[in-house]
Amino acid sequence: MTALREIELECPVCRRRFASRAVASSDALGGRRTDFREFAEGTQPLPFFMHMCPRCGYTGAERDYAPDVEVTEALRERVWVELAPLARRAPVTGSEKYEAAAKVAEWQGLEPRHVADLLLRAAWCCVDEGDVEAERFFRRKAAWAFEKALESWDGVAREERAVLTYLVGELWRRVGDQALARGWFDKVQAEVIDPATQQWVMDAARQQRDCPREWFG
């Protein structure tokens, strides 16, 4: 079960104070998909990890509203121009919040890895929203962002490269591009640095390449 609580936030862009619902506790009893999406029983917590300012549209996690968060004039302007129109036609969906958060992260110049995580969660929200087209759109964008992170020499920790290489393959598989998926699954083995603890990633890559499954376990 997911339990929610109300939190008070102050927007670092426009200083508006507003209440938002956040996750107090959740579980993963609903299982885990082969793209690492975990499901809770009952209400899914994902949309409640992101908060959109109802005035200017600035969006982020609770920590992105901390008092020490600094906002440049360029960021403030982009938020007002590109996100405020969305915020005004509330209520916004979970995927819209993650998309907005990914834009803010990009405008702040945060790492592709971080942007990729947000885009992946936008895709996961689309699954719950029953929007197949948008789900594929965000899976593609997430795959490209993870690829960009893997390309930069310090974009991904060495011990995480195998699992993210697998994930890119799985994203392309779920988009429906089997050839691209296969290429990425085949690269997983070369990224493994500790076969003892990473055997499962190699197994998962082989399984999703040869005989794919929707769920782990």
| Interface residue list for Zn ion (CB under 5 A) | 11, 13-14, 16, 53, 55-56, 58
Q: Are 60 and 50 in contact (CB under 8 A)?
A: yes
Other Cβ atoms within 10 Å of 136 Cβ, number: 17
Least distance to Zn ion, CB of residue 14, Å? 3
Taking CA atoms, 60 is separated from 13, 39, 40, 65, 95, in Å, by: 12, 21, 22, 7, 13
Q: Which pairing describes strands 59-60 and 3-10: parallel, antiparallel, or unpaired?
A: unpaired
Residue (91 or 130) nearer to Zn ion, CB: 91
Nearer to Zn ion (CB atom), residue 14 or residue 180: 14
Of the pair 100, 127, the CB lying nearest Zn ion is at: 100
Minimum distance between the CB of residue 169 and Zn ion, rounded to whole angstroms? 38
Q: How far is the CB of 87 from Zn ion (least distance, A)?
A: 8
- The crossing angle, in degrees rounded to 10, of helices 161-175 and 132-151 is 150
Please identify, using beta-carbon distances, which residue of 51 and 161 lies nearer to Zn ion: 51
Write the burial class of residue 151 (CB in 10 Å: 0-12 exposed, 13-18 middle, 19+ buried). exposed
Count of Cβ atoms closer than 10 Å to residue 23 Cβ: 18
Output the smallest distance, CB 119 to Zn ion, in A.
22
